């Protein structure tokens, strides 16, 4: 198994590569990656938590300006 280099401070939660925190001087230990499965067992729970099935949800997503607006902004610069 590959050695985990990324460490997370137990005191302040800052990330770093050393076993001692550069922010607060506390001790840091290997930051465990989130458990992940291609089957995504908690997808339904996460959708419910984020309200994805509500009609208003798509409007809450961030959007880019239209391509014409972006081109116009580039021409201004
Ligand atoms: Zn710290």
pLDDT tens digit string along 12-56?
A: 999 999 999 999 999 999 888 777 788 888 889 989 998 998 999
Helical residues (DSSP H) of 1-77, grouped into ranges: 43-50, 67-76
Assess whether pLDDT exceeds 90 at residue 2. Answer: no
Ligand 1 geometric centre to CA of 35 (Å):
24
Ligand 1 geometric centre to CA of 34 (Å):
20
Q: For the CA atoms of 63, 67, 73, 77, what is the dihedral angle to 10 degrees?
A: 120
Beta bridge partners of 16: 7
Q: The pTM is what?
A: 0.40
Ligand 1 geometric centre to CA of 50 (Å):
31
Ligand 1 geometric centre to CA of 36 (Å):
26
Ligand 1 geometric centre to CA of 17 (Å):
12
Nearest Cα residue to 33 out of 67, 58, 5, 66: 5
In contact, 43 and 51? CB cutoff 8 Å: no
């Amino acid at each position: 198994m590959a050695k985990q280099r990324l460490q997370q401070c137990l005191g302040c939660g800052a990330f770093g590569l050393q076993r001692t925190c550069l922010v607060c001087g506390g001790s840091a230990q290997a930051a465990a990656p989130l458990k992940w499965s291609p089957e995504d067992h908690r997808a339904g729970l996460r959708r419910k938590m984020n309200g994805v099935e509500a009609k208003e949800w798509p409007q809450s997503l961030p959007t880019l300006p239209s391509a014409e607006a972006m081109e116009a902004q580039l021409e201004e610069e």
